[in-house]
A and B are shown apart, each in its own frame.
Chain A
Amino acid sequence: MRNRLCFLLMAVVAFALMAGDSVCLAADSSAKGLSGEIPIAGVWSLTGDAAVYGPSQKNASELAVDEINKSGMLGEAKLKLITEDDRSTKEGAITAFDKLIKKDKVIAILGPTLSNSAKASNPIAQDAKVIVLGVSNTASGIVEIGDFIFRDSLPESVVQPNTVKITRDKLGYNKVAVMYGDDDVFTKGGYDVFKKVLDDSGIKILTIETFKKKDTDFSAQLTKIKGLNPDQIIVSALAEEAAGILTQARQLGIPDSVHIIGGNGFNSPKLAQLAGPAAEGAISGAAWFVGNDTPGNKKFVEEYNKKTGSNPDQFAAQAYAGVYIIANAIKNAGSSNPQAVRDALAKTKDLDTVLGKFSFNEKRDPVHFPVVQTIKNGKFELFK
């Protein structure tokens, strides 16, 4: 019996030694100046429970890299995009970051899709001085990780105040009911911001109701809300749950004059598909909207349609813009040195992107105008 354990230990040691000798990896990171291939990466949730978002980010980033390489924007140099799947887990994101930094020697990573994965994986990049550009992380505590961590996804703290201000100016409301999903970082974060904005603007919150991801029955919460007779209902939810809430609110006889106002989570073509006529009049704040008249947006929507056969969503637009923002920084730095690119990236100001005129503030958070949209005839339109 002892012998067997000894053998096992010997086998482990032998394996480790063998592996060390036989694996040799060629990494081409010596590209100084702008020539050759500049490796960048996208870490997306292509499988697992966030797989709704990852594929559109992957498609949009591939589209952007193709366009940049065809246009000769970087002169002799070409971007080489390496895509990794984090399986919607922190383990996946950490492993992918480790591989991309050590083995592929990328200079910049876009992603990961989920905020909590970003909190787990981004410190590895910061430690190795590799740029991370989050394109869908909206939680707090991301850019705070360090000076190599950026994001182009507008946090809810920018989108929501704008939504409340614009809708209040138009609709004039004073008392609202609030509903939010309390088991998701994104919807919980959205609620925190809504609560603060409503309190700051002196709007009375009649009740705060919660639900969980994958809930399908919201009638208890909505019946209570109906009884309180609010002017509007503020909802922080992702598209699936939002669709359920919209449908059941109208079934329970909450009148159309009571609008349902949401955050970034509403910003998916799925909402109108799932809720059908009940989605009419739903209002949401967003960082981007499919009919934006921002530079290049029309072409982006067309090309994305050609590539995938469907309209891009906000996640796609932010990933697409992210690649252009990085490419612009590489061009301005005139080098693929991560430190030089980081410094150029931090100076990004009024860059024309599909999101609008784009800048980074001193905290490496994005600055551009959010939009407020409403659903009319099953399609998003600007809220006026």
Chain B
Amino acid sequence: MPDFLSHNITVINFILINMALGLSIYLTLSTGLLSLANAGFMAIGAYTTALIITRTDIPLGVAIVPAMLLAALVALPLGMLVLRLRDVYLAIATLGFGEIVRIAALNGDKVVRWFSDNKDLIVFNGAEGITLSYVTPKIVLGLPDSTWPLLIYLLVVTYLAFTLQNSRYGRVLASIRQDETAAHTLGIDVVRYKLLAFVLSAAIAAGAGALSAPVMRVIDPRNYVFSKAVDILAYAVLGGMTHWFGPIVGATVLTSLPEILSFLKDQRDVANGLIIMISTIYLPGGLVDPKMWRSLAKFVLGRNTSGSTA
């Protein structure tokens, strides 16, 4: 493994996880839904997987399936309820959901003990969380075995986002974002498509949570606090909400920036904040804004180049 990779493999792992999380919120954002529930769904995925792989011999690749299904099952009724709300009201309601998941993980054992004869039963283990045992990473095909599942998952999710954006469904979702009423009058079943985007987004976030479990190793409620929900949103906002490549760039920048800026020591947070502030002010469409890049290309290459339709 080259030095650069081996020295930065943990950062790369977290970038891959955050890319998938960014894509999960991109799905709802591209439908015009400002949902902050994804940290909660990530928690559902992580806890489900952590419980399965610490208590059974089921491998990670299989445990991710019930994790994603459970999140989708939770997202369905939740979506039916909260998707009646719009904009900031939806954000507040979904934020509430994230907190419910966190508090449930914190106090879940008290509830479990009610239904059980064993009054010292430990399932979620409150604030201490679930600790996964450490396995020395093996190098498979030039990458640690913990990185491969993340990379494969990201490719699958990216492919999904990529095809979705260019499919009929993608255009339907975009039309809902641009003008919900107009979409409705065109005969689009707005509620159903919104629900589809919400459930899919929940499942993707849960999958990212599931695969993050062996990398984080300690699954406790503190991983899924309010600020995590905001971080996930920031990946998409900084990267751009209109193209699937946006959240990928956003997650890479926001995850690696604190490490790149570590030479600034105490001033790191200031620089970090400044970079995010300046880029959102001057690039309101995100770092990946097809319109902006197209006009930039026009400007640089002169007027002869016609704007590509990519």
Contact = CB atoms under 8 A, between A and B. Distances in A.
A102 B14 contact: no
Contact of B10 (A95, A126, A127): A95
Given A90-B218, A95-B11, A183-B106, A123 B2 contact: no
Nearest to A146: B134
Interface residues of A, number: 45
Q: Say what secondary structure dominates the interface of chain B.
A: helix
Interface string A75-100: 00000000111010011101100110
Contacts of B126: 182-183, 188
A125 to B, nearest CB: 10
A237 to B, nearest CB: 13
B141 to A, nearest CB: 12
Nearest to B159: A5
A46 interface: yes
A16 interface: yes
Nearest to A16: B5
Contact of B268 (A85, A90, A120): A85
B217 interface: yes
A183 B7 contact: no
A191 to B, nearest CB: 11
A220 interface: no
Contacts of A116: 128-129, 218, 220, 222
A103 interface: yes
Contact of A119 (B136, B166, B218): B218
B266 A123 contact: no
Contacts of B3: 20, 23-25
A5 B162 contact: yes
B2 A141 contact: no
A242 B4 CA distance: 47
A302 interface: no
B262 A85 contact: yes
A28 interface: no
A90 B216 contact: yes
Nearest to A12: B151
Interface in A107-153: 116-117, 119-120, 123-124, 126-127, 139, 141, 145
Interface of B: 2-7, 9-11, 14, 106-107, 126-129, 131, 134, 136, 159, 162, 166, 215-218, 220-223, 245, 258-259, 262, 265-266, 268-269, 310
27 contacts: A1-B166, A8-B245, A16-B2, A20-B4, A23-B4, A23-B7, A25-B3, A25-B7, A84-B262, A90-B216, A90-B223, A94-B216, A102-B7, A116-B129, A116-B220, A119-B131, A119-B217, A123-B134, A123-B217, A124-B134, A126-B134, A141-B128, A141-B131, A182-B106, A183-B106, A183-B126, A183-B221
